[in-house]
Structure formats: structure tokens, C-alpha cells
Structure 1
Amino acid sequence: MSLLTNLLQKKEDKKYFLILGVEEHRISAAVAEITGETIKLIGSGESEFGENTQEVDAADIAISTAEKNLPENVLIEKVIFGLPIIYIEDGKIKSEPIKRLKKITQDLSLTPYGFIEYPQALSFYLEKKEESPPTLLLVSIGKKNLTFSLIRIGKIEQNVVIPKTEELTKDFENALKHLKSEIFPSRIVLYDEGRQNEHMEVLREELLTYPWHKHSSFLHTPKIEILESSTLLTALVDTVGGSLLKKLYFDEEQTSKEPTSKQTIEKTQEFLDENDFGFIQNKDIIEEKTDTAQKIQPNREVVDFEMTNKKEVVEEKEINATEGDKKTSIFNKFRLPNFFSFSFLTNKSTPILIFLGAIGFFALVMAIFFWFYPSATVNLIVYPNVTSKKVDVIFTTDKGKTDGGKNIILTKTITEEITGEKIASTSGKKKVGEPARGEITIYNKTLSAKTFPKQTVLIGDNFKFTLDEEINIASASDTGEGLAFGKTTAKVTAVEVGPEANIAAGTTFIFKDFPQTSYYAKNSQNFSGGTSREVNSVSKEDQDKLLSELSDELTSKAKQKLFQKLTTGEKLLDNSIKKEIVSKKFSKDIDSEAKEIKLTLVVRVNALVFKEEDLTNLAKEENVSTLSGYTLDLNRTQIKIEDINFDKKENMQAKAVINSYYLPEINLEKIKKEISGKSYNQAKNIISSIPTIGGFNIIRENYLPFFTDLLPLNQKNIQMHLVIR
């Protein structure tokens, strides 16, 4: 902040601004107040609209609700839009949303002032909240689409939008194929654009069951978080408010100083160009020829230099690069002498001495300001030298094996048993009803008597029937004129239910297991009684699906309980988790008539736990050699376990992939000494000459008028930080 801004404090006027979040079927409005450097949300409103509902009416309702706490004499006409990524293409608003925004602004007499993307606002919000630029994978969950935003050190590297399906894990796999990164952040943040957070925990648990260890782009299981539904409006207010504050400061400083040279003018434009904030004065952003609005950027004032031809980013280390404006008055630190109290000022040389004293006093004050007031932060960007090494390792529960053994890590088994119930709809179909019945006459063509047992099968008109009881039939006899067949009557029942087996009289029946040349039957009357209807029933697929779903849910809950059992310094081996079904009970058997089926299940989950210190010691032993000019950073050393096999004694044999990070040795005090009092270009040349530094940025905090291009002369007022990428 400029010294003139500090010295010439004005009365703090209240300023107000309106933000309108426009989505597929929802309008959100927020009215915020700026007082000095304080941003406060004073009102918010939300309204939904359907396919046939007026979007403008919904916007009017949302704005009216948000403006309830607005002073009566205040009218806000300028609006900043918050938009999801689905409406943005190549940094510009798509044509269809542009038409919608234009109608809203025209019908409600609003002037569009800029727009901000949802992921950028959320990134800035997290940076402000956590006091450090975030590195994460932001997943915005909409009704029809998922938006994946890859954020590194507060900057959005890539946005990917994919259609939403029923399986979130498959959507993740699909999105990861489109994200251009070899190593993904170990932090995933979920946000529901529908503001219905009740189902988010279910999605989070679904992601926790995903086998992250099988995905080479994740060095270990990522931390998965959920943002509150109210976060978006807060993020939009903070981001837009910060940009407005920056513009206000720029306007004040421009009135208090004039550039001393062409170079100063260029510097001012480079750092404080209005277009950086997404504002166009005296223009309608929706009337621009490109049909695009200006994008609002988060409030950062930095001088940024980047060197080229540096290696690809492997991982980020987040630091708090900004400390904010320092507002403590310098006058509180010094007591000024009273030159006019000296007696020698009463003689004839008084005018000259007063003049010389005034010059000396002014020079002293300027020297004090020049030494103590200016301050800046310099962030040096370095790239670690990463080495990877595979070593054999054994995880065992046998303490005796660890004595004298190399790369053997002692583990212990922890267990969690959990019970749960789940109800699901059935998908099977079956016929229920009554079988057809009737009477037949059986004929015996053989010369021997025959006994047919109960349930003997006959086939007539392609339908199967069975005898209701045992039947004895006499043999055929010779009458002299021919052979008289033995015969008897019997009652039969159809094997299957349904009216189809109500066959007509005169149908011939054959025995399934006997030749027709020996035995056959006929009916003299129509069969009757056969009826049927289709009902829901339990299928094997229904039982299998319900068992799989409930088993996965209980396993996920058991895992969470296992993690809660861990003490400080303990780590759970993801690959060692085993589940066992202790008992299961279905409310209905397969083929039973039912619309729903309930399963009661008991699952036991076992896992191996080890001390993280043991794995760290292994990494130390495997990294005994160091690179010249580099220092091993044990805090960034990453170990991934793969190629796991269990032997007969349940010992786990695996490969440990050790990724070691060697950081360049940088003498910060020496660099600080060399760049103090230098111009930015001189500092750039000094830092660029150091081969292990990949780039840097300078953040101006306090500076004097006419010396904006100089770093502080006082080394204590220069903060040095290493940014590891």
C-alpha cells in the first residue's frame, strides 16, 4: 500500500455491489457492502424456475430478497455474474447464456459489470480461508454434468466437464483421462451445485471405496472433503469484493501521484490494468462484438517473472505468500525532536538555522521512512530433483521376524464388525394361479398288466400333466375278432399354472417315459380350472445385487471406524483390507412372490496397521547418498506400496516405491542481501543467474511514492520464501 494512501485517510464511505449466480434452473443473488477494507454480505436470495417459467421473474425475486437489508436511498444498477464452467468456453461466455444474461439485464434495468467463474471463486475462497494457495482437484456436481477443476497453488490449470452418470467412480475415471497431469493432488474437494448436501456424504463414501492405489497418478489415497452448500455465495462475494477493493485503491493512488517516466506508466498498467479485474467502464459487456464479458480475477498484486525451459511440475508445496497490507503507523515508532526549544535560536542567525534545521529534519524523516517503511515479499520458485526407487519389503505380524531382518516392518491386525440392513425392490416376474385339471382314459396295448405310479408324466397338446394317484390297468385281451386294449380312467393335473392347459376333448396323450405303441390316453371332456396372473418375485440377481451393495456400504463404514482406531503415527495399509461376511439373512427366498426384499448382513473387516516411522526409516536407509548441491526433504518423501502378495503365514510381501525429493540448497540471506535496494529488473538479473531457481515473484506491500520500482533497502523488510513446485 502506498504511503500516501496511509497518510491521507479519507472518510470510509459504504459501497454496495450485486452478484447474480445464473444456473440452469436457479438464480442466486447476493448484495454485499464494502466499508473501508471490510466486505460484508448483507443479503442473499434464491429462486428456481422450470422449463416454462420466466427466468427474469426468478431473477427479480432473488434480487428483491437479497436487497431487503439495503438502505432505502441506495439503488444498485450494476451486476456481476457468477457462472458455472458449463457456460464458459475458451474464457468466454457461450452464445446461449449470453442471450439469457442480456434479457435479464435489459428487463430488470441492470448494467453488466463483469463475470467470475465458480471454480475460480471457490479457489480464491479456500486460499483466503486457509491462508495458503490451495492445490486440489475441485469437483462440482451438477444435475446433468460434473466439472473437474485441477488447481495448483491457487491457479486453475484445467477444467473438464463430463456428463453425469449413476456411478461416480466411473465418472472419475472418465474425467482423469481428460486431465493433463501425470501426478494429481492428494486432496479432492466436492461441491454440490444443487445445494442439496444430504447426498454428498454417500458420494464421498463411494469415492473412499475406489481403489486409488491402482491409479498411478495418485501417489496415495487422497483426502476427500465436502464444501458446505452456502460456500459458493460467500466465495463469490469475497472474490468480487477483493477485486473491487483493488480497483478502488488503484483509483485513489492514481489521483495522488503522476508517473515520472514512460517506464513507470508501463509498470502501473502491468500491475493494475482495469481489465484484470473484469470491469469495463462506459460499456455494456454483453454488447461487446465478441459477445463475451470480462472475467474478474482474484485480488493479487504481484510482479511475476518466470524462467523457461524448466522441468515439469512434480508436486506443489503450498506457502502463505502474502502477508497483507501492514497498517501500523510508522509515527508510533519514533519520537521527533523539538528543534524550536533550543535557546540558540533567539540570536540573529535564527532564520538561517531554522532553514537548515528544517532541511535537516526533513532529510532525517525521509531517511527514516526510506529505511523502515518499504516492505516486500519475494517468493523463489524451485523445482525438486525427484528420484524413484523400488525396494522389496515385508509386512509381518510376527515380532520375532523383525529382529535383524532388513526391510521388514512390524504390523498389527485391527478388526471392525458392523451390522446393517437394506431393502431393495424385486425385479423378477413369475406366474401364479391354478393348474388345469381333467379326466383321461388310459389304454394298454400290451398283453401284460401295468401299474403307473403317482406323478407319472403325460404330454397332451404340448402341455405336461401328472397322474393324481397310482393307476393299475389290465392287459389287452384277444376277442377272436381282434385285440381289446386294457383301459381305465384317471385324473390328471397340469404341471404349470395357466389357462393354456385347458385343452379340448378328444386330445391324445402320450406317456413321457413309455412308447405310444404300448400305452396312450385320451380325454372325453374339456379340461378346466387353469388360471394365471403375473406377479413380482425375488430373483437370484436381486439377492446378489442387494448383497453386493450392502456389503460395500458396510465395508466402507467399517473402514472409517478402522481409521478412527488409529493412534498418532500409525498408518493403515489400504491393500491389506479384507472383508468377511459373518452372516446374512434374506427376508424372501428366490422365486418367492414379493415386491421388496430385505437383507440383514454382518460384515467383519480386518486390516494391517504399521508405524509410519518404520517406513520413514526405511526411506532414510535407502537414500544414504545425496546429490551435490541438493538436500533430501524427508517431509516430502512419498512411499507407495504395490505388487502385494500374501504368503501362507499371512505375511504381506510387496514392493515399496520410494519417491525422494531433493531440494536445491538456496542461501536466502545471501540473495536478500544482494537484491536489497535494487530495482525489479536488477533483482531479476541477480536471481536469474542462479541455475537452481526456476522463477520468482515479488509482492509489493508498503512502498514510497516515486520509488515503486525499488526493493526495500532494509533487508529486515524483505521476506524470503521458497515455493516448491
Structure 2
Amino acid sequence: MQLPFFSKKAAPQEDYFGLLFKNNGAVGFIYQLQKNKVSIAAQDSITYSNGWENILEDIDKLISKLETQSATQVNKVIFFLHSYLVDQTTQEIKNPYKDIIKNVAKSLELKPLGFIELHEAIKEFIKKREQAPLNAIFVELDSSHLSICVYKGDRLILSRHTPRTDDLADDIMDVFSQNVIDSHLPSKMIVYGSVQEEEIDNLKSFQWDSKLFIQTPRIEYVEEKQVYQELQVVFADQITVSPTSDDKRPDEKEEEGSMVLGFTIGEDIALHPELKPEEDDLVDKAGVDNNPRLSEGFKMDSFFTNFFNKLKLPSMRIQNKGGLFVVFMIIVIIIGGFLAFEFFLHKIAITVVVPSKSIAKTIDLTLEIGTSAKDLMIASKNTTIDISDETKATGVRETGQKAKGQVIIYNFDNQEKTLDKGTQISLKNLSFLLDQEVSVASSSGVSSDGTKQAGKSKVGATAGEIGSEYNIDKDKEMQIADLPESLYLAVSDTAFTGGSKTKVTIVAKKDLDGLEESVLVKAKKEGPSIVKKQQKPGFNILSGLTEYSISDSTYSKEISEESNIVALRAKVEAAYYEYEDAPFKERLLSKLKAEVPSGYRLEPDKLTYTIESADKMEEQIDIKVDIRDNAVKDIPKAELLSKIRAKTNGQLEGILSQNFQVSAYMVDKIFPPLPIFSAWTPLFTKNIEVTISSK
């Protein structure tokens, strides 16, 4: 940062007056330049006696006191200003401060050299100390205002000024909350200016918003003594490398009443009618060249004015037409090269953040069912899914052998008795069947002891059921069918053996029915992912309406077949409904347009929707949809490009905020990627890429 109004060669000793303006007072310095070094010969401060009303008298007393202390007399002044006094777009002092400062310089016969912002001095101090790109928040405080500058990677991403209240932390948070910040803020906060120790402690203990800071910011307070020292350093850096008026050649000396950095020295500006009011420039910021005054009738875009004003051509004497041609060709080459660079190389990509509003609405749609989703119809589709499942058999069946043996049939009747095959004989609750037909002779009379002699005959018998309980011993008396026991009797002639019984598992009908149900459940679970594979790009499926049914089934076992497991391989038909997403969204956007405020437009790519319900009727489907979208400030891109081409960063910020209500902007890409080319935007709109964002 250089002051172009200083000479390259410093005088043996020169005295300068440094004046730091504050809201309620001022601080003055007497600087002495000797042997290319600047020292402070005197320093003092004042409090305004009646605000800014009596500032002339107050500053005059301050100068007198300092001149007495340093035994010097000063007539050159450098102003030190808080950032809120300077228009950050034009880099000029704001009114009414500009007129007050000019009046101070003129009335006290001081030659103004320019001004330096406190923020610039502290920024240079931190950069030299850290030896790294700036990543910090600078909080500059005066009694009535605070200024915040945020740097990330050496780039200024936020600069704001606001009046102060009693709560400094809340004031800072208000600035952050009112400005769109896309990323986390730096974790270092540099505080300087008019601040109490208690306020610094409050900042250190304040609960900062975690959405803005990755970690609690480290608060660093730069004391006023250090601030004054850094102002001296910045001033010394300029004065020791820049020309002063005393070192100019005689033919370069300024005439009495000439303009110096916007001030009229020793003469009233009213005496120069050729100077228009708008040409009465502000005090120039240290390090910024003045634009040359343009003669009446000659107009040039400010961009080219700045460019050619900074262009340094070699000095040469034109003694003939050949020399004139050489100069002409040099100018043509420079202009042509510059235009070629702007047309082919200089490019920039910018993202601008505009105000946005969230729009939401719930609507009902009725769509017809067809064979395709064309013209926003619901298409009915089918696909087959192979599903397999198995289950344990739950049926039970008993198996085994029937007991066999021989019985003797006794006939006490006087007549012969014939028993058919299968005649039942029983022992308690056990039933047996005769294996064959048998005839039993009648009784043969009474024996000598008076006992009646029965006719008898042997025959085989088999148990009526399987089971070991039919294995009975020999000589067991059994009843024959429903014949009277007094006339007919059966007795086991041998023990009955071979009876057995076991249980086996078989397939039951309910097992097959259960398999069908489980296959359908499985299809509903696996089906959506399988159906989705059938979905064409750009189409969506109404999943809530998909129906599943078994079209073919093959079981591994039949009903009553002996088995522990039964399996089913089935083909399940999935009937689903699909629609095309693009025309569906167009329909939703058309329904949402009535909700958009004037001057805003919807962002189709930000549209989201949720289908709350879908009911199938005979030939149509009724759908309830929740729609959400962002409505952003409608900015005509062509007009935006035409206004921001060939503009400095300061001009760019002002145009975007004032003309288009842009809340923030970010430079995403610059080509060539060198800092010098970030000072202005390309001349040709084709090389400017603008992205409009709502966040």
C-alpha cells in the first residue's frame, strides 16, 4: 500500500501532523521524518467540547499543544479514520464527515496528504505477525459504531458497519445473522478501538452460535497503544518510499490554490467555476490514485479511465512523423493486447445470493389409467416375480401292526353255531376280528360230575386296531359279538403278539394354505425393489397401489404325504402403476404458481413433493400431493451481466446490492488465477458466468 502523493526522496527532516478522528474526540501525533525513519515527537488527545460543532477550535488547540511539546510547526496532515466514516464502495469519505474534514484542513491551513483506515493498519500488523493468509474477524470499535470485516484465505468476504448498543456480543451476532454466510467463520476475532475490559471478558465468555463457528472463537484485543504504533508503521512505510511535495522539480511545484487530494489549498473553490461540484472529489485514500479530470465534451467509461490513468508510457520526444507513428503503434498494440486479453482470457464465475421464500401447498389430482404414462396418464403395468418358500409339515398320522393270535370258541347251546369271518370278539374295550368263518358243534350233554360239555373249535383272530395294547396273554375270556355269554364264549388259546403303533409327520392342507400366504407376504416385501428395476428413467411408481397375486404354484409334497418339510415355488404377478416425473412436476408447478409473490419466480430444480395418499377408482386414480419449492427474487440475467461487466470489486458489491437486492456474492473462479485479475470483472459479458442461488 503506497501513498502516490509522497516523493521518492525524503527530506533530511520533515514534520507531519497525524490526526485520528473519533466520534467523541481526537488523537493527534507529530511525526518527524529523519534519515528515512519516522518517529513520534509528540502525542496527545482531546475530547470534543461540543460534539463536532466546535471541532475547528478543538483541533486547533490540539495542534498548538503538540507544536509546543515538539517545538515544531506542521502544515502537512495525514488523517486516520474509522472504517464507518468511509464509503466502502467508492473508497471516499462519507458526508457530512468529508466536508468537516476538508473544512478543518482548509481553515487550519493544513495540506492534506490523504487518509489511512485503522482497519488497514491492523490488517497489515496481523499479516506481518502471522506470515500466513488472513483468516480472522476484525471488530473495529468507536464509541458510537462498530465495523466488522471477515477475511478467509486473504479474501474479504464480509464488510459491515452498524451502530453500537450496550451489548457488544449481540451487536456482532446481529451483523452475522443479517448476512448470508455460506461457510463457518474464522475462529480468531481481532478486537480494537474504544472498548472496555469488561466487554472483552463478555466476548470471551459469550456462547457463540455453533452454526457459524466450528469452535469457540479466540478473542484477541489489540490495545490502543499498539493501534497507534501500527498507524505509525503504515505511515512510515508510505512516507519513506513515496515522493513529497518538497522534492518535486520546480516545474512540478503546485500553484497556490491547486487541488490536492480533493482539497483546495489556500483558495476558495468558488473562484474556479471550471470545476463542477461533482468534481470536488473526496479526500483520497492512501495508496489510491486520483482519476484525471476529463475535459468538457470528452466522456469515457470509468473502467477505461482507471485503466489508462494507471498506464505508464515511456517518456519520449517526438521530433518527426516517424516518432509519432511509433507512439501511435505502441498505443494501438497496448489497446489491442488489452482487448484481446479481455475477449479471450479474462473470465470469472460468480455466485449471487438473492432473497428467497419457501412455498408449500397440498393439492388433489385425478389421473386416468391407461396402458402408457404418456400425457400424464397413469400406466398400468405387470411383472412376474419368482418367489420360493418352505415350511414344516404339521399333519400327524399313526402307523403300526395289528396283534394276532388264536382263540377257542365254546358253544354251550344245544345247536351248532356258525360264526362269520370278521365276527367281533372283545376283551373289555379291545376288539378283535375272526380271521375266517368257523362252525362250532353243539353241546354234547352233561358229564358225570354234572358239568355241561360245550362244543368247541379253534380259529385265528386279529386285533381291530394297531397298537401294543392288543398284545394280550393266553387264557383271556372274551365276549363274542352280542351273543349271550351263558351260551357262547371265546378264550385266547395263545398269547396275541405283534401289535405295535407309531406316529409319523405328514403334509396337512393348512400347511399348503400357509405357504401361499407367506409367499404373498414375501412378494410384498421383496417386490418393490424388483418392480423398481422395471422402472424406466424419468418414471416413478405409485408403490402404495401395487397388488400381488399367485399365478402359478408347485408344491414339493401332496396333502397327507409323509414328510417333515413342504416347499412351494410360485410365480407371483405384481400389478403396479407408473407415471412420468417431468410432466407430473410441470402440473405441480402450474398449481403452485398462484402462491408465488410478485417479483419472485419458482426454482423448478428445487421442487420436491410427497404423495400422501393414492386411491384407485375404476378407470382413474385420485392422488393427494404435498408440494414444496423455493421462490427466489427474479433477476434478469442479461441486465445483470450488462451492469457488472468491467467493474471493480467495490462497484460490483454496490451494483448487486442496490440494483438487484443481492444479499451476498462469492467469486467462485477467476482466470487467469492471479490476484491482479481479481480487481475487476471482464469487459465482455460472454466471459462472466453468473449462478443465482437462494442460499
Task: Give the shorter-chain TM-score range.
Answer: 0.3 to 0.5
Rg comparison, structure with higher value = 2
The TM-score with structure 1 as length reference comes to: 0.36
